Structure formats: C-alpha cells, structure tokens
Amino acid sequence: MTATHRNQFWFLPGVLANSLVFAMLAYVAFLHAFYPDLYYLNVQEDEFMEWATFWSFFLAAAGCVWAAVRQWKNTATLPWFLAGLSLFCFIVAMEEISWAQRVLAYRPPTYFLAENFQQELNFHNFVTRDLRKLALYTILSAYGILLPVLARIPISRRLLNGLGIIAPPLELLPVFAVALALTLNYPWRFTNETVEFMMGAGFLFAAVAGVAQFSGHKTQDRARYSSMSVLISAALVIGLALGTVALARYGRAHDPDVLNLAAVEIDALRRDFVAMAERSDETFPSRKNLHKRIYSYESKYGGGYLFDGEFSALVSRGLPQERADYFLDPWNSPYWIRLKWDSKHRTQFTAFVYSFGPNRRRDSTRSGILGDDVGTFVFRDRKVRR
C-alpha cells in the first residue's frame, strides 16, 4: 500500500488526535497560569504527566509491534522500521520511569548513585544536556515533520516505500511542530515534561495509523477504525496514568518502624545543616533559591562536611554504608534540601530537608512539606549578614 493511499483515511482521525493533544496542552497551560502549585505537582516524578508519557510510549511500542506483524503478514516485507520504532518507544518509556526503580524501591548500582546526578537507574542523564536537546530536536524534526512531508512527494515517497520506512501521517505534523516550538522557546518551567508527553502521544497515534495501514480494510472502514482507535488509545493513556498515580499514592504500606527510621535520619540531617550554617552563612550559596538532592548539594557546596556529620554517623546504629554515602532514605530515594531566599530583601532564608516518603513521589511544594513526605525545617526566616 503506498503512502498516498495510506493518508487518504487519516483526516478525521488526525483531527481527533490533534484535538486531544492540544486539549492536554491547554490544560497544562491553564494550571501553570492559575494553579501553579497544582501544576508543579502534576509535572513531578511519578505524577500524572510522567505516567501519561510512560503509557503513551509503552502503548506506542505495543502498537508498532502490532503494525509490524501486520506488515509482515500482509506484504511479506521485513518490518525493520516499525520494529526499530517499537524498541525506541519501549526504551524511552522505561527510561521515563527509571526502569521502575521508584516503583519497586530497589537500590540502583553504585555507579548510577555516584555518576548519575539524579541517582537513578537511567542512561539518558549520562548524556550532556546539549546532546539530549539535539537528540530531541532531531527526532521531532526528522520523524515528526520531515518524514511525513517527504512521504507526500512522489519521488521521495517511492524511495521511502522501497526502503520500508513508514512515515507518520502528515495530519500529525502540528503535534510534532508545536512540541518542537515549545522545546525551542521553553515558555514555562518544566516545559520538557509537556513536550515529552506530546512526543509520546505523536508516536502513539502514528502507531495507530500504522496498524490501520496494514489492516486490509477499505479506506472508509480504516477511517472509522482509526478514529475509534485514537479515542480508545487516548482513554487508555489517561485511565492508566490516573490509575498508576493512585496506586503509587495509596498502594504502598506506611510501616511505622520505617517512618520512624526516616524521621531519625531527617533529624540528623537537620542538625548537620544547622552546624554548617553556624560555621558560615556562606554555606548556603549565592543568596539564591536552591532545590537539590543532598548528595548533589554536598558534592557542589558542602566541602565534605556532611560526609562526616551526624547522618553519616548513623552507620554505627545500623544505617547501611551505601545509603549513608549517597544520602538515600529507607526507600532508596534521595534525601533533598530546599532553600528559599526572601525575594525582596535577600537578608533571610528558609530551608527544609525531606524525603519522598513511602509513596516515593514528591508531595511537597516549594514552601511546605506535604503528603507523606518525611521532612523538617532547618531554618524558618533565618537572618543573615548582608
């Protein structure tokens, strides 16, 4: 089946796909403008946007496998391109959730704790930010924009068909183009979370088109089939994302002994930061807001003090050495420090340390410790020298 014939059935499904993706974009923009705390929570790890992105890519991987099987069965063509897309989408999905590290609460290998700034089992954070951006630009531009355009030009369409390359429908170009524009302009904080979701949705709906392409149905039947598939896949993404968030939030046991252990460790970290501040206010750098994993903070600002502090001394009371070395909580997630300066006078600051708690997701906001996060304030409105 040629690219020209394939695209004849995708107009209505394309309208539905674009409408659904841009409705989500509008929702995110609305939250950012009017409910910033809710927006902030929605874009955190193990929250709705991350799980929606995961399920979009995961279902896209499954859809590409389905389309590849149909391509092989109906055309006797080796479906190398769809198989590669499936592998790509699966890897992206698993990287998005750090290969289920937080879900299963396992401790990643030491190399990842020391060298990965997120202290998570994923590989993309070993790549520099510039290279990650370049890869994102290339994928959005080449797959989402250039490829469907080439598939509409007769000479390049014949070349793509001969190579077995399956282009996404041209009707999905707005999704990829707007995602690329958001990446280039970055209009608000955590824009990349929205871009990743839009890219996942684009791959998912492209997979739906691939399945329909090799379905063997007539053009009109393929249009109805694709429209229903777009709606069903979107409902699956939203339902699975909401369900996974609910499980992550409520499905884990709150063992009182483990909570007490985390509270003891948090208090030791609090005393360590108080001791650091007594030595010098400059321990808290550059009079700026700061939010870091404590291991990253100590590596950049602490000068080795925390490695010899009261938290590390808990090793003598049973704290595993690896958790002490990398400032991990009892659920093998990093402990965090958040510092917020007075925005007007710059003469006082508030700081608190916290853990994500048993649900292993951030519930706290920029100004408070919320949900089942285990934390304590180190300072509230501490005065400092000018």
pLDDT value at residue 3: 43
Indicate the SS3 state at residue 234: helix
The pTM assigned to this predicted structure is 0.77
Residue 328 is given by DSSP the state B
Amino acid 5: pLDDT: 44
Q: Read off the pLDDT of residues 59-83 as tens digits, 9 standing for 90 and up.
A: 999 999 999 999 999 888 899 999 9
The distance from CA 373 to its chain's CA centroid, rounded to whole angstroms, is 20
What does the domain layout of the chain look like in residue ranges? Answer: 3-250, 257-383
Pairing of strands 374-383, 336-341: unpaired
Contacts of residues 70-78 at CB distance under 8 Å and 24 or more positions apart, as own/partner, are 70/211, 70/214, 70/215, 71/166, 71/210, 71/214, 73/214, 74/214, 74/216, 75/1, 75/214, 77/164, 78/164
CA 143 to chain CA centroid, nearest Å: 21
Question: What are the pLDDT tens digits along the chain (386 aa)?
Answer: 444 444 566 899 999 999 999 999 999 999 999 998 889 888 887 789 999 999 999 999 999 999 999 999 988 889 999 999 999 999 999 999 989 887 777 888 888 777 776 777 888 877 788 898 999 999 999 999 999 999 999 999 999 999 999 999 999 999 999 999 999 999 998 999 999 999 999 999 999 999 998 876 666 778 888 999 999 999 999 999 999 988 766 655 577 889 999 999 999 999 999 888 877 655 565 557 889 999 988 888 877 788 889 999 999 999 999 999 999 999 889 999 998 887 665 677 889 999 999 888 888 887 889 988 999 999 888 777 65
pLDDT at 1: 44
Q: In 35-109, where does DSSP find H-type helix?
A: 36-42, 48-75, 80-96, 101-104
* DSSP codes, 61-74: HHHHHHHHHHHHHH
| Cα–Cα distance measured from residue 224 to residue 245, given in angstroms and rounded to the nearest whole number | 32
Looking at residue 368, its pLDDT comes to: 86
Q: Report the number of secondary-structure helices (H) and strands (E) in the chain.
A: 17, 4
